[in-house]
């Protein structure tokens, strides 16, 4: 029995050590950011003919692999820590054999082999992006979630014209929104979540032909541009930032939208009636804001909605039967507001087919409601949403506790992950050529939006889910 206990303890210690992420201190992150800035040219871009100024001791089958070698060599030199030795074999001219590097016939010439993808998901590498990465002009997949890369995204990334999926989530990147991604004409999937980006969003972001956009868990602080309605995205997540102002009325034009999450920001004013035009949306989450006024009569126009969360706002008025009876609805949470009336079909005890939560409102004869003293200042002064300015009167939007997410486990770097099954594409453009080897990025424990396996140039849009984006934690 004692031997068994010792073995169990040793196994537990080993598992803890293996899953440990070598977190960077703020001092180390600042050091790496300064180190990067000291190496960048004045405009952050590559000088013309830069590749010809670099002496290389090897010969290559073509000039593109030579450029890739220069870029990857510079990147390896920019690595500060690589605890799982992902880059240990990044030596010599055989770049297609480098771990996490994937090659394929070029799109414009099938007789030329190029580096088409980078997959360092969960590698826990600390370092920064050198300007030389702009030489990887054939790369379409750039998967770097759950590492410790610091600093900014260099302007040289504007040369990555084939970039299709750009995932730098769960790193230590800083600065304003990286506008360089707007210069990637082929970009479809943009994942910036769990970094330290700040400031506002450029209006032209929503003019890009994106399918998925993840901005959650940064330090963005601005209104949402009215150009939101131009977006072709099926999934957009704004959660856990400091966005403010109204939800743009242009949202009603987003015909491709499937899931949108505004949770835990400072959005105010009334819900725009145009939300009811989103007939294909399955997830609508605006919890944890300061929305006020009554529910728009058009809200039951969300005829495909499955998850509707309006909790922890300052909404008032009546919750209608027709909204609670939307056929597709599975979960409707309107707790922690100031509603003072609800239809019988919206009372949780009356329904077994869906989950309803009406707690902490001002509903008569319902349990777990606010006191009359709490309700009276809000309910007695209803806001006329047809006249209210964006944000509504601040005096009628008292502070409330934010909607907390459950604790999230730290991602475990896994050098040899199992192969996840690809999700069915929403649409099917022309099939691209095949890469020489396949090694899909490791799945996160709580199933974030899965990137496709890297066995082709990624021209098949995937199905991404906003409801799964909270499974990684900042390093």
pLDDT the model gives residue 191: 98
Percent helix / strand / coil, the chain, rounded to 5: 25, 15, 60
In this structure, the number of other CB atoms found within 10 A of the CB of residue 406 comes to 6
CATH topology for 1-224+411-475 is: 3.80.10
Q: How far is CA 150 from CA 78, 248, 324, in A?
A: 11, 33, 46
| Of the listed ranges 152-156, 265-269, 423-427, the one predicted with least confidence | 423-427
Degrees to nearest 5, angle at CA 314 with 312 and 319: 90
Pairing outcome for strands 259-261 and 235-237 = parallel
pLDDT the model gives residue 270: 96
pLDDT the model gives residue 255: 95
Q: H or E segment at 314?
A: strand 314-319
pLDDT the model gives residue 444: 31
**Confidence class of residue 19 from pLDDT cuts 50, 70 and 90?**
very low
Q: H or E segment at 68?
A: helix 63-77
- Sorted by where each begins, the domain ranges of the chain are 1-224+411-475, 241-404
Question: Please, are residues 263 and 240 in contact by the beta-carbon 8 Å criterion?
Answer: yes
CATH class belonging to 241-404: alpha beta
The Cα–Cα gap between 390 and 171 comes to: 34
pLDDT at 253 > cutoff 70:
yes
**Confidence class of residue 21 from pLDDT cuts 50, 70 and 90?**
low
Evaluate whether 1-224+411-475 and 241-404 have a shared fold.
yes
Q: What does the pLDDT look like over 358-387, one tens digit per residue?
A: 999 999 999 999 999 999 999 999 899 988
| Of the listed ranges 17-31, 186-200, 232-246, 371-385, the one predicted with least confidence | 17-31
pLDDT the model gives residue 313: 98
Mean pLDDT of 84-99: 97
pLDDT at 7 > cutoff 70:
no
Looking at per-residue pLDDT, the higher value among 460 and 28 belongs to 28
pLDDT the model gives residue 468: 56
The Cα–Cα gap between 72 and 425 comes to: 31
Mean pLDDT of 105-134: 97
Burial of 372 (0-12, 13-18, 19+ CB in 10 A): exposed
The Cα–Cα gap between 263 and 258 comes to: 16
Q: What does the pLDDT look like over 185-218, one tens digit per residue?
A: 999 999 999 999 999 999 999 999 999 999 999 9
pLDDT at 20 > cutoff 50:
no
**Confidence class of residue 463 from pLDDT cuts 50, 70 and 90?**
low
Q: What does the pLDDT look like over 277-319, one tens digit per residue?
A: 999 999 999 999 999 999 999 999 999 999 999 999 999 999 9
* Ordered DSSP codes for 104-168: EE-SS-TTSEEEEEEE-TT---EEE--GGGGG-TT--EEE--SSEEEE---GGGGG-TT--EEE-
């Amino acid at each position: 029995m004692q031997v068994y206990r010792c073995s169990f303890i040793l196994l537990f210690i080993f598992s803890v050590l293996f899953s440990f992420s070598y977190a960077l201190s703020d001092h180390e992150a600042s050091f790496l950011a300064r180190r990067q800035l000291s190496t960048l040219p004045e405009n952050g871009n590559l000088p013309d003919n830069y590749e010809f100024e670099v002496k290389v001791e090897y010969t290559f089958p073509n000039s593109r692999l030579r450029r890739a070698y220069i870029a990857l060599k510079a990147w390896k030199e920019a690595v500060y820590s690589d605890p799982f030795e992902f880059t240990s074999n990044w030596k010599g001219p055989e770049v297609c054999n480098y771990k996490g590097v994937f090659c394929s016939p070029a799109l414009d010439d099938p007789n030329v082999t190029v580096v088409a993808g980078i997959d360092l998901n969960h590698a826990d590498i600390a370092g920064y992006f050198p300007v030389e990465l702009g030489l990887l002009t054939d790369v379409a997949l750039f998967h770097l979630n759950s590492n410790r890369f610091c600093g900014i995204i260099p302007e040289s990334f504007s040369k990555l014209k084939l970039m299709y999926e750009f995932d730098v989530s769960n790193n230590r990147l800083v600065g304003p929104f990286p506008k360089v991604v707007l210069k990637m004409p082929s970009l479809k999937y943009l994942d910036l979540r769990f970094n330290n980006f700040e400031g506002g969003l450029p209006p032209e972001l929503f003019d890009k032909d994106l399918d998925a956009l993840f901005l959650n868990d940064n330090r963005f602080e601005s209104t949402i541009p009215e150009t939101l309605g131009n977006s072709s995205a099926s999934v957009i997540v704004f959660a856990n930032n400091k966005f403010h102002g109204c939800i743009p009325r242009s949202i009603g034009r987003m015909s491709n939208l499937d899931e949108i999450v505004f949770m835990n920001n400072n959005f105010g004013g009334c819900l725009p009636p145009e939300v009811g035009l989103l007939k294909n949306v399955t997830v609508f989450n605006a919890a944890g804001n300061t929305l006020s006024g009554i529910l728009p009569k058009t809200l039951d126009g969300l005829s495909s909605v499955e998850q509707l969360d309006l909790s922890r706002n300052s909404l008032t008025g009546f919750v209608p039967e027709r909204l609670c009876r939307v056929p597709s609805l599975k979960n409707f949470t309107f707790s922690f507001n100031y509603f003072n009336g609800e239809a019988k079909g919206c009372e949780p005890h009356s329904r077994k087919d869906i989950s309803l939560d009406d707690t902490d409102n001002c509903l008569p004869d319902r349990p777990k409601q606010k006191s009359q003293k709490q309700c009276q200042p809000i309910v007695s002064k209803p806001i006329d949403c047809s006249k209210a300015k964006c944000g509504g009167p601040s005096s009628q939007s008292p502070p409330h506790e934010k909607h907390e997410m459950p604790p999230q486990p730290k991602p475990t770097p896994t050098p040899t992950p199992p192969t996840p099954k690809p999700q069915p594409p929403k649409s099917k453009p022309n099939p691209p050529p095949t890469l020489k080897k396949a090694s899909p990025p490791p799945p996160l424990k709580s199933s974030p939006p899965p990137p496709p396996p890297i066995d082709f140039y990624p021209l098949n849009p995937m199905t991404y889910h906003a409801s799964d984006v909270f499974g990684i934690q900042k390093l």
